[in-house]
Structure 1
Amino acid sequence: MNTSTALRPIDPAHFRAVMRHLPTGVAAVCATDPDTGAPSGLIVGSFQSLSLEPALVTFSVTHTSTSWPRIARAGQFSVNLLAEGQQPVCAALSSRGEDKFGSLNWYQSGYGTPHIKGSLGWIDCRVEQEIVAGDHLIIIAAVLEMTASEGEPLVFHGGRLGGFRESQAA
């Protein structure tokens, strides 16, 4: 391995063009703002499990997110694993509006976090660590409780949101 090779900058547009070939699940990270009592949320495509013992999950958010500081202040949040057909949830939580939850069907969990109805699963978490990584923060969170239901996931691929269906061999 040649360790003397300098790291060349990668054009952000080219980076996005290549990475859009990797399909990802879509998750809504939601909390109750401790200052206002209002729900706050954002969409991530980087959510994944990190550790079984202890149960940890991770995702990343951009430094420019206006929702993450409110969620971080809460200390606890829910991850809603979005289902096929929940594109309107994604659109609402990706918007810059103040009332992102106005059109959403949700309820408050026992942990005081927003759970969006129709999601495939809900994971209630506690923020453990934030790590600065380039223009993002990597969030590591402990899992407090989790549950899942049946259905098809909402998937992001090639700049589009949609469902995932296994092809049937003839």
Structure 2
Amino acid sequence: MTSTAVTAATSVSTIDPAHFRSVMRHLPTGVAAVCSTNPRTATPCGLIVGTFASLSLDPPWVTFSVARTSTSWPAIARNGHFAVSLLADGQQPVCTALAGKNPDKFRSLEWEMSAYGTPHIHGSLGWIDCTLLHQLDGGDHHLIIAAVRDITAAGSGDPLIFHGGRLGSFRETTAA
């Protein structure tokens, strides 16, 4: 199937977006903070994604999607470099701050500037410093592909998970 055929097939969908969301909410996702510095103001900027994933090991690439309506993404994209902080269980306040519309999202956050000039959120399980490679059309989202410049495991513990409209953690259980 060519990309033209895919575009034509998806443009006639009769699936209700609310129904689509209600089914997809059964799939848990990790929560990551994508942060950079606004090149116009030299201030930190960031957003939350629940779609972050590795795309390629060689070369090391990652991917995520961002809503076209995001007011933070344009500054991050203009910079071209960003860090992804892998949020840990207990970092719900970080998620709330970066998901909001407050222009000073970092005021209540503990963070430091990396050697690459990107904000790293304290308490995260790891950081991935990236360079933007591609921004592709993804319907009502942009599909982002980025090259990994550096990667650090910062801590241990459970990741922050989004599932069923709630933030929480993963707890391993074993069968009796």
The normalised TM-score by structure 2 is: 0.92
SS of 1:37's equivalent in the other structure is coil
Matches within 5 A, 1:7-46: 7-46=12-51
Find the counterpart in structure 2 of residue 77 from structure 1. Answer: 82
Distance, in Å, in 2 between the alignment partners of 1:139 and 1:158 is: 24
Matches within 5 A, 1:61-140: 61-140=66-145
Find the counterpart in structure 2 of residue 154 from structure 1. Answer: 160
Between the aligned residues of both structures, percent identity stands at 66
Query: 2:70 corresponds to which letter in structure 1?
Result: S
Deviations 1:64-89 (A, max 9, x none): 10000000011100000000000000
SS of 2:69's equivalent in the other structure is coil
Deviation (angstroms), 1:151: 1.2
Query: 1:87 corresponds to which letter in structure 2?
Result: Q
Distance, in Å, in 2 between the alignment partners of 1:44 and 1:159 is: 14
User: Greater helix share, 1 or 2?
Assistant: 2
Deviations 1:95-139 (A, max 9, x none): 001100000000000000000000001000000000011111000
Distance, in Å, in 2 between the alignment partners of 1:164 and 1:121 is: 17
1:165 aligns to 2:139 (yes or no)? no
Distance, in Å, in 2 between the alignment partners of 1:145 and 1:80 is: 12
Distance, in Å, in 2 between the alignment partners of 1:18 and 1:84 is: 24
SS of 2:74's equivalent in the other structure is helix
Deviation (angstroms), 1:169: 3.8
Find the counterpart in structure 2 of residue 48 from structure 1. Answer: 53
Distance, in Å, in 2 between the alignment partners of 1:116 and 1:43 is: 12
Distance, in Å, in 2 between the alignment partners of 1:139 and 1:94 is: 18
Number of positions where the alignment pairs a residue of Structure 1 with one of Structure 2: 166
The normalised TM-score by structure 1 is: 0.95
Distance, in Å, in 1 between the alignment partners of 2:62 and 2:14 is: 30
SS of 2:40's equivalent in the other structure is coil
Structure 1 stretches of at least 4 aligned residues deviating more than 3 Å after TM superposition: none
Q: What is the RMSD computed on CA atoms of the aligned residues?
A: 1.2
SS of 1:35's equivalent in the other structure is coil
